[in-house]
Structure 1
Amino acid sequence: MRALESQAATLRLLSSRTTIPVPEVYALDTSRNNEIGAPFICTSFLPGKTVIKTWFEDSGPIPMEERRLLTLTSLAGCMAQLSAFAFDKIGSLCGDSPDAIPLGPCFDWDEKDDGTIGVDASGPFDSTDDYLREHFQLRNSKSEWGVAEDKLIVVIKSCLPVHNPGEGFVLCPPDFDAQNILTDSDGNVTGIIDWDLVQTLPRCVGYSRYPSWITRDWDPLMYGWPHLKDTENSPEELERYREHYCRALGAALAHRGDWSYTKKSHIWEAGWIALLNTVNRLEICRKLLQAAVGDDDDATDILYDLGTGALEKEKWDSIVDSLTKLFSVHVDPQ
């Protein structure tokens, strides 16, 4: 119930204080005492087609590549408007007032053993460390891969630039991916939908990060290239689109503020996903390890040696140093 109220509060805030095209909330009832006998939120229809349908569509009034770049530029302009909001906790909006925006707990999906889905509440949290104490856990697997994964994820957790308690938190669409971005035939963003379970986030994974469909190469379990070339971009293409989005967001933010996080946000997003999603964790660890050590070493061999205890301390210390550099904040993305 409270999750629906939070979603409505967020949409009303964005509608009243930005020009980001989000659904207008027409009605909200979190009780069962209504005509449909269930809690509901009723919002406006937004025009356009989802990017997941148009990104590989080689037709329309302008060339596909031009339309893609325009979509990214338009989306960057929308996200830049979220720089107007800053928060002192990780949590979900629970109301709107002219003086302050109150925060309540975070909400997460909870899939039950019988297949039903509920919503869990936790927090709000005064710091990212408090949030991770609630949401991050080691696998504690005795296999060589599990041991290696646990060792790596502890290093990644310490390297993520999320531990400064004075930095504050920001908003970002909770599912910042192609199925939730609507555009017109030219590629202009006409809507951003699916704000279920929206909450504030650490700045490095907030509104200034890349949209998820151009960071797919950093979450290997979700990335189908080169086997699905009709529906996936190559790593080289994705890097080019990230460079374009970084420039566009920089222009929209006057090259200030959270733009300093954008250039490396795909790396930090991968680390954040690995912390919170154990299913994706091992392959993301492998990807981040390979990026840190370079092509001269094989990440799979290193993982195996790390898990079996065969990795020399000097080599491990060098890997930790390389990971620290990989995750270091890049102040000037130009």
Structure 2
Amino acid sequence: MGILLKLWLLFPQRIRLWAYQLLVRVGLRLYGPTTSFSCFRLPFNLYAKAGYGVDVHEANALRFISQHVAGPLPSLVDVIPYPRFENGMFIVMTRLPGKPLALGLWDMSPEQRSLLASDLKRIIDQMRSIPPPQTGPKICAVDGGPVLCYRVCVDRVGPFETEADFYQWLSDRLVLEEQDRLKAFAKPVHSKTHPIYLTHNDFSPQNILVDENGRLTGLVDWACLSWFPQYWEWTRSYYAKESYGPWREMMDKIFGRYEEELAVEQELWKYTSPW
């Protein structure tokens, strides 16, 4: 942390918040809106997040990942309570270069996608080398709090003491008429105990930044960072991406395949609403 930033963080929170809100207005004039209602590009190579669902767990996730994983990841600059939203926080982070992979995935050659998969795997391997907490909930955010996963719910849920508790919660949200059938279908997977790994949990082409050659320049949006079963990052990366053939090939190279778990997840997706 530079000396100027250390001095800036000594200012009262209300003054810093006022300054950041001013920078949001300047950024909207200079750069226009982003694709997210809660994300704003600021001058000085910064981004801000503020709005519904932006909370202290997201700030803790950003702090945790930047301290434990080396690579092109955003760094937390400041976090301030934001009373406009219940439990809201105003988060300021560093900006990373590049454009979203979603804009050019289908134009990349197989060789470019293979190199990008290698870039991403280096980050994922670091994440998976971090041991999960030995006490407390098994399925939880990095601060032990509730998880955010848009595959299961648009709001934070849990935490869950065990993997089995998580599966029970998933099963209870299934369409009532199909619950018994689906529970029986999922039992071979849901009765297993999988290794627990640190999971980005929103691994998608929108959150991967690349340069003009398709090489990785950033992995962003860490709001969903949590501890989940080993297969979850891979099956989650398939969620709602039925037509994303090149993307799925990359995910297979990074994570391997979990056929039995994917079959269960794909059936559950049909009868689960995150709303």
What TM-score range do you get, normalising by the shorter chain? 0.5 to 0.7
Normalised by the size of structure 2, how large is the TM-score?
0.64
Distance verdict in 2 for CA 1:13–1:273, change over 3 Å: farther
Q: Is 1:278 matched up with 2:271? A: yes
Q: Aligned with 1:43: secondary structure?
A: strand
> Which is further off, 5-14 or 265-274?
265-274
Matches within 5 A, 1:31-110: 31-32=82-83, 39-57=89-107, 64-87=109-132, 88=134, 89-94=138-143, 103-107=144-148
Tell me, in whole angstroms, the C-alpha distance in 1 between the residues paired with 2:251 and 2:53: 36
Query: Which residue matches 1:139?
Result: 175
Query: Which residue matches 2:256?
Result: 263
CA contact (8 A) 2:149 2:202 kept: no
Larger Rg: 1
Tell me, in whole angstroms, the C-alpha distance in 1 between the residues paired with 2:149 and 2:59: 16
Distance verdict in 2 for CA 1:42–1:120, change over 3 Å: same
Q: Is 1:169 matched up with 2:210? A: no
Q: Aligned with 1:134: secondary structure?
A: helix
Tell me, in whole angstroms, the C-alpha distance in 2 between the residues paired with 1:32 and 1:163: 43
CA contact (8 A) 2:195 2:230 kept: yes
CA drift at 1:56: 1.6
Runs of 4+ in 1 over 6 A off after TM superposition: none
Could you tell me which amino acid in structure 1 is paired with residue 146 of structure 2? P
Tell me, in whole angstroms, the C-alpha distance in 1 between the residues paired with 2:221 and 2:248: 26
For structure 2, list consecutive stretches of 5 or more residues without a partner in the other structure: 1-51
Normalised by the size of structure 1, how large is the TM-score?
0.54
Query: Which residue matches 2:19?
Result: none
Tell me, in whole angstroms, the C-alpha distance in 2 between the residues paired with 1:204 and 1:182: 24
Q: Is 1:23 matched up with 2:58? A: no
Query: Which residue matches 2:34?
Result: none
> Which is further off, 178-187 or 155-164?
155-164
Q: Aligned with 1:160: secondary structure?
A: helix
CA drift at 1:125: 1.7
Among 218, 223, 228, which residue is 1:201 paired with?
228
Q: Aligned with 2:55: secondary structure?
A: helix
CA contact (8 A) 1:3 1:197 kept: no
CA drift at 1:31: 3.7
Q: Aligned with 1:136: secondary structure?
A: helix
Query: Which residue matches 1:128?
Result: 163
Distance verdict in 2 for CA 1:82–1:56, change over 3 Å: same
Among 162, 175, 188, which residue is 1:159 paired with?
188
Tell me, in whole angstroms, the C-alpha distance in 1 between the residues paired with 2:180 and 2:188: 14
Tell me, in whole angstroms, the C-alpha distance in 2 between the residues paired with 1:46 and 1:135: 35
CA drift at 1:182: 0.9
Tell me, in whole angstroms, the C-alpha distance in 2 between the residues paired with 1:71 and 1:240: 12
Q: Write out per-residue CA displacement over residues 2-48 of structure 1, whole angstroms, 9 at most, x where no aligned residue.
A: 962222222222212221322111111234289xxx63111111111
Matches within 5 A, 1:288-327: none
Could you tell me which amino acid in structure 1 is paired with residue 258 of structure 2? S
Provide the aligned C-alpha RMSD in A: 3.4
CA drift at 1:273: 5.5
Could you tell me which amino acid in structure 1 is paired with residue 188 of structure 2? C
CA contact (8 A) 1:162 1:202 kept: no
Tell me, in whole angstroms, the C-alpha distance in 2 between the residues paired with 1:49 and 1:176: 15
Q: Aligned with 2:91: secondary structure?
A: strand
For structure 1, list consecutive stretches of 5 or more residues without a partner in the other structure: 59-63, 95-102, 110-116, 225-231, 250-261, 281-334
Could you tell me which amino acid in structure 1 is paired with residue 210 of structure 2? T
Tell me, in whole angstroms, the C-alpha distance in 2 between the residues paired with 1:127 and 1:184: 40
Tell me, in whole angstroms, the C-alpha distance in 1 between the residues paired with 2:236 and 2:116: 11
